[in-house]
Amino acid sequence: MDRSELIKLQSERLVKLVENVYNNVPPYRKKMDDAGVRPEDIKGVEDITKLPFTYKTDLRDNYPFGLFAVPMDKINRIHASSGTTGKQTVVGYTSEDLDVWTDCISRGLVSCGIEPGDMVHVAYGYGLFTGGLGVHDGATKLGCSVVPASSGNTARQVTLIEDFKPDAICCTPSYALFLGEELHKKGHTADDISLKVGIFGAEPWSEAMRTELEKSLGIKACDIYGLSEIMGPGVACECEERKGMHLQEDHFLVEVIDPETGEHVKEGESGELVFTTLTKQGLPLIRYRTKDISRVIYDKCACGRTTARILKPSGRSDDMLIIRGVNVFPSQVETVLMEFSETSPYYMIYVDRQNNHDTMEVKVEMNEAFFSDKISDINSLEARLKARLNSIIGLSIGVTLVEPGSLPRFEGKSKHVVDNRKI
Ligand code: DLL
């Protein structure tokens, strides 16, 4: 589709979307009323900046289903991802939304060179996380033999790869590196590993990691981007050229803004990605602030696709960490620590990558009243903290109690996270 045709389609869809949210989603009606904008003011994509932004906090404030635009009996699937507090960000899909999602993933798999009949090993987590089921449905529709391995149990994953000989693998890039290492430990080389393509996303990764992955697994490593609020994986995906991820522009309108001012940056410049869902029915979102920093380019790709391309996100404008594909906000850790009367408000979070495996450790000071050199007391408190963090965040996080006054103090803004990963 050439750009003028695409813009016409996007404009028609935007007009319908705005009318829909104004009439069916009370919090959106209020936002638009507060901003003094009425549905009839929006005639096409050129009017997008008249509309207010949507933030992750809007989803939280309307938890769980307050932003859904259809009655619950039309919601066919629910997923969720971490929010800034203990509360999950909940997303809902109608059956048409699931069809669109499936199509977007299928397009992405095809653009990376996967064909009907290929065997696809899916090692993204299945469950509330969108990675597993999202990729699963897309690969199924394409006519692939899907291996729903889900995440974890590395020994079993290795056996499945050895025995089933899949053509493609979909998982986080850090997990793929780890799997590569385990395969090599068992005597395999890039040449005898069956995989030809890897589709990696859900966390930032660099060109250096791409080279490493391609060498280790003997594959073409492609990048896939997405976020639960907008759809899940497949909002954009690379093609075999691997020069940016093709955005599914018939379903998503992208803007790139200066995160401070909210104004558009110049075309091709770096800024925060903002998406509007053009066809979503369950949870349509207008100008959703992703906090992901990247660039969007519009020149035609050598593969022939005419869609805009999102370059590898270079970071985030907030403090969200992605640990083994799980989104973690330092504030979630802090909330847990504050529940315990034995600890003080001084803590540090250390993130590292060992053997291609993300690790997270929390050091927290005991308070003077609890401070004890009785090892059994300390061990038991550490175990309780660890269990609570695990249940809230869903990750195994190391906990070490340290003496009162031993962690750094900061003048001005405190710094709670040391991320030593070299991604
Ligand atoms: O991570 C969806 C997904 C699953 C994408 C599988 C790709 C593959 P969330 O858990 O909501 O959804 O996390 C979304 O992850 O805002 C980015 O910060 C980050 N992210 C996702 N893909 C990439 C990528 C899924 N390719 C958040 N490169 C997003 C860099 C990524 N960061």
Which domains does the chain show, CATH number per domain?
Answer: 92-318 (3.40.50.12780), 326-419 (3.30.300.30)
CA-CA distance, 202 to 422, in Å (whole number)? 17
What is the per-residue pLDDT for 222?
A: 98
**Residues in contact with 28: Cβ distance below 8 Å, sequence separation at least 6, in sequence order:** 21, 22, 67, 286
Q: What amino acid is encoded at 190 in this protein?
A: A
Closest by CA position to 234, among listed 112, 373, 368 = 112
**Confidence (pTM):** 0.89
Neighbours of 94 (CB within 10 A): 19
Closest CA to 122 of 130, 131, 109: 131
Please report, in tens digits, the pLDDT of each residue of the chain (423 residues total).
999 999 999 999 999 999 999 999 999 999 999 999 999 999 999 999 999 999 999 999 999 999 999 999 999 999 998 765 557 899 999 999 999 999 999 999 999 999 999 999 999 999 999 999 999 999 999 999 999 999 989 999 999 999 999 999 999 988 898 899 999 999 999 999 999 999 999 988 888 889 989 999 999 999 999 999 999 999 999 999 999 999 999 999 999 999 999 999 999 999 999 999 999 999 999 999 999 999 999 999 999 999 999 999 988 888 889 998 888 988 889 889 989 999 987 899 999 998 888 999 999 999 988 887 678 899 999 999 999 999 988 899 999 999 998 998 876 666 889 999 877
pLDDT of res. 412: 63
Question: Token match 């020994």: residue?
Answer: 155
Residue with tokens 């070490």: 400
Q: Which atom of ligand 1 is nearest to the CA of 226?
A: 5
Q: How far is the CA of 18 from the centre of ligand 1 (A)?
A: 26
What is the best residue among 126, 174, 205, 225 to mutate for testing ligand 1's pocket, by most ligand atoms within 8 Å of CB? 225
What is the per-residue pLDDT for 329?
86
For residues 312 and 288, the answer to whether their CB atoms sit within 8 Å is: no
Q: Give the whole-angstrom CA distance, residue 143 versus residue 167.
A: 13
CB 238 within 8 A of CB 94: no
Q: Report the pocket of ligand 1 as residue ranges, CB < 6 Å.
A: 81, 124, 130-131, 201-204, 223-228, 232-233, 290, 292, 313, 316, 322, 327
Query: From the CA atom positions of the chain, what is the Rg in Å?
Result: 23
